[in-house]
A and B are shown apart, each in its own frame.
Chain A
Amino acid sequence: MKVWVPRDAAAKALGADAVAAAFEAAGAEVIRNGSRGMIWLEPLVEVERDGTRVGFGAATPADVAAILDGSAESLGPVEEIPFYAKQNRLTFQRCGVIDPLNLAEYEAHGGLAGLRRAVEMSDADIVAEVTESGLRGRGGAGFPTGIKWETVRKADGPQKYIVCNADEGDSGTFADRMIMEGDPFCLIEGMVIAGLAVGATQGYVYLRSEYPEAIEVMNAVIAIARQNNVLGTVLNSSHEFDMEVRVGAGAYVCGEETSLLNSLEGKRGVVRAKPPLPALEGFLGRPTVVNNVISLATVPVIFEKGAAHYASFGLGRSKGTMPIQIAGNVKHGGLFETAFGMPLGDLVNDIAGGTASGKPVKAVQVGGPLGAYFAPEKFDTPFAYEPFDGAGGLIGHAGVVIFDDTADMLGMARFAMEFCAIESCGKCTPCRIGAVRGVETIDRIAQGDATAIPLLVDLCETMKDGSLCALGGFTPYPVMSALEQFPEEFAVAQEAAE
């Protein structure tokens, strides 16, 4: 009997390896797939019945016998579970479905169709297709991917590079990790297409050291892709492309593209001033595309199904779909890929079912540690780049972290400053010194010193305007959004002191 048990890190963290071992001991044929993204059901075991994959979760080794003899109660067909059925899976169409290390299965599910099309196209046509799809940088900045590629395509250089930013350090985000562990050939295919588009023959995946499972899977599939001419001589065409994984070393700021490039070169991960743009002077001073994992992993489906198909999803200038990660104190947490435009409140309450604790939602932080807190009053904000910008926030890498009514918002604001102080690369004074002063100033407020509040506001303005990158520049988002929406928590201590 064929049984799927995810090898995704979240499934492993919840005991998937023991479940897989128990199935193997019972004589079942075990396939280690990626995660379907329904993390509250992990380890989510699947068994094929009458041609349909039926789910059991969260499974433990004790459930194995009953699952195999058919007496266990199932969740029904996995793809009919509402959380899954309500999605528009484009980027994540294969994640959880296939064995991530099986190239033949990848192809059987639409993989390499995009690359086969791209190898027949001119470089300019490839870039035009990406531009027409409306794809924007999924790492957070939202810069149009096609325009970035066009800049690199037109740049002169002895060697150009595709660098994949897999330094997914934002709390509440795990889409990069999931796709690298669950459908890694998709990222390789996207990087090869990017290479064809701009004339780059070498790629690097800068992958954070906190993701050992993803590192293992990516290294394994790169070797498989080389053996099968996906890498090297690309599909036996006249094009060459090869790539390798580079492991980060625990610095959050290396998720910023210029700091990442310095780190890749073996330097301190200090932010570079722009210009020069990395597109013109990137890795080793050569023209370089730096794209997020999800941006690159979305390229294959754009070429498989066409730019117009991809662009038909979304809202306004936010075209296509976004894999939204719902996390924190959440009842049904996981990865939900949907067209841009769903109101934040629908995601939090309808899709995710509110908090795990059952208490009311107090706030959600969207976009990682540099993202703003949204109180329920702002839950009608559509999930897309411009509407979030207009509401004083950012979607970032689309992590949504839910907090229940026990959350200490002054404490969260303090943590934002503390984190910035720990992770600052030190280049810009407002970030390096400001974050330390920010912690001290919030401590003064906590002790009842109301005169420190205007100081904090002023400090946030300085950090926002005087920092080169998002670490110093966006730390004010969580701080100010907490202060503005929960002013009573910054005043309570004062009353207590008086």
Chain B
Amino acid sequence: MSSTAAPHDPAGIASIITQYLHLEGPLLPMLHGIQEAYGCVPDDARPLIADALNITEAELHGVISFYHDFRREPAGHHVLKICRAEACQAVGANALSDKVLSMLGLDWHGTSADGRITVEPVYCLGLCACGPAAMVDGQVRGRVTAEALVQELAQ
């Protein structure tokens, strides 16, 4: 899914930036594009983006850090998102996430030492009538159990 080290690829980043410059309000699509390519928004990209959009790096940092989605370092090879919102809590999401985190030996936002797994909380996947819900590498899962999630990640 992503490499484990932040990349150094100014030419590649610059070409992604160019693809979005014609849009009205290009920054979010640009950040998504860069993150899709590199698994994160690398620090290397910041001066290039700021320059292309004529904004300060401070302003850019403000935007990147505001949104939960954007990462400074790539996530683990597998990303597990577990819903923590009310509808999933009504069907045991708290016990589920406690169990998953303890089985993996991780805390929220943590990545395993071998770089294989990152666990993130998510606040609603719109699967509220078939919770507890989760997402494994972008694939939705309903009525999950801790065992099934951990087993899927082991594959």
Measured CB to CB, the residues of A under 8 A from B are 9-10, 12-14, 39-40, 42, 168-174, 176-177, 202, 209-213, 246-252, 263-270, 283-284, 325-330, 333-334, 356, 365, 369, 399, 401-404, 407, 412, 415, 419, 422-423, 425
If the complex has contacts A328-B90, A356-B91, A403-B90, are A13 and B67 also in contact, measured as CB distance less than 8 A? Answer: no
If the complex has contacts A14-B143, A407-B90, are A249 and B31 also in contact, measured as CB distance less than 8 A? Answer: yes
Among B63, B89, B126, B140: residue with most chain A CB under 10 A: B126
B60 to chain A: closest residue by CB: A266
**Which 9 A-B pairs have CB atoms at the shortest separation, nearest pair first?**
A266-B27, A333-B129, A171-B85, A13-B142, A327-B128, A328-B90, A249-B67, A250-B68, A39-B129
The answer to whether A171 touches B124 (Cβ under 8 A) is yes
Q: Output the least CB separation between A450 and chain B (Å).
A: 26
| B43 CB within 8 Å of chain A | no
| Neighbour of A329 across the interface among B31, B63, B85, B91, CB < 8 A | B91
If the complex has contacts A169-B124, A247-B28, A269-B67, are A12 and B140 also in contact, measured as CB distance less than 8 A? Answer: yes
Interface of B is mostly: loop
A419 to chain B: closest residue by CB: B123
| B122 CB within 8 Å of chain A | yes
B94 to chain A: closest residue by CB: A411
| Neighbour of B32 across the interface among A170, A211, A247, A252, CB < 8 A | A247
If the complex has contacts A265-B25, A328-B90, A415-B86, are A42 and B130 also in contact, measured as CB distance less than 8 A? Answer: yes
If the complex has contacts A266-B26, A267-B63, are A213 and B140 also in contact, measured as CB distance less than 8 A? Answer: yes
Which A residues lie within 8 Å of B25 (CB)? 246, 264-266, 283-284
Q: Output the least CB separation between A375 and chain B (Å).
A: 15
The answer to whether B67 touches A250 (Cβ under 8 A) is yes
The answer to whether B122 touches A268 (Cβ under 8 A) is no
Which B residues lie within 8 Å of A209 (CB)? 32, 69
For chain B, residues 135 to 154, give those with C-beta under 8 angstroms from any C-beta of chain A: 135, 138-143
Which B residues lie within 8 Å of A264 (CB)? 25, 28
Count A-B contacts at CB 8 Å. Answer: 157
The answer to whether A174 touches B31 (Cβ under 8 A) is no
If the complex has contacts A247-B28, A402-B90, A419-B123, are A13 and B140 also in contact, measured as CB distance less than 8 A? Answer: yes
If the complex has contacts A212-B138, A328-B91, A415-B89, are A266 and B63 also in contact, measured as CB distance less than 8 A? Answer: yes
Which A residues lie within 8 Å of B141 (CB)? 13
CA distance A233 to B81 in the complex (A): 42
User: What bracket does the count of chain B residues touching chain A fall in?
Assistant: 35 or more
If the complex has contacts A249-B28, A328-B87, A329-B91, are A173 and B126 also in contact, measured as CB distance less than 8 A? Answer: yes
* Apart from the given pairs A249-B67, A401-B86, 7 other A-B contacts in the complex at a CB distance below 8 Å: A10-B140, A13-B133, A14-B130, A174-B128, A248-B69, A328-B129, A328-B131
If the complex has contacts A10-B142, A266-B28, A369-B86, are A174 and B127 also in contact, measured as CB distance less than 8 A? Answer: yes
For chain B, residues 58 to 73, give those with C-beta under 8 angstroms from any C-beta of chain A: 62-63, 66-70
A212 to chain B: closest residue by CB: B138
| Neighbour of A401 across the interface among B62, B122, B127, B128, CB < 8 A | B128
Q: Output the least CB separation between A391 and chain B (Å).
A: 19
Among A176, A246, A266, A268: residue with most chain B CB under 10 A: A266
Which A residues lie within 8 Å of B129 (CB)? 10, 39-40, 174, 325-328, 330, 333-334
| B125 CB within 8 Å of chain A | yes
Which A residues lie within 8 Å of B127 (CB)? 9-10, 13, 174
For chain B, residues 15 to 36, give those with C-beta under 8 angstroms from any C-beta of chain A: 24-29, 31-32
The answer to whether B91 touches A177 (Cβ under 8 A) is no
For chain B, residues 37 to 95, give those with C-beta under 8 angstroms from any C-beta of chain A: 53, 62-63, 66-70, 85-91
Which A residues lie within 8 Å of B131 (CB)? 327-328
Which B residues lie within 8 Å of A325 (CB)? 128-129
Q: Output the least CB separation between A166 and chain B (Å).
A: 11
Which A residues lie within 8 Å of B31 (CB)? 249
Q: Output the least CB separation between B88 and chain A (Å).
A: 7
The answer to whether B28 touches A401 (Cβ under 8 A) is no
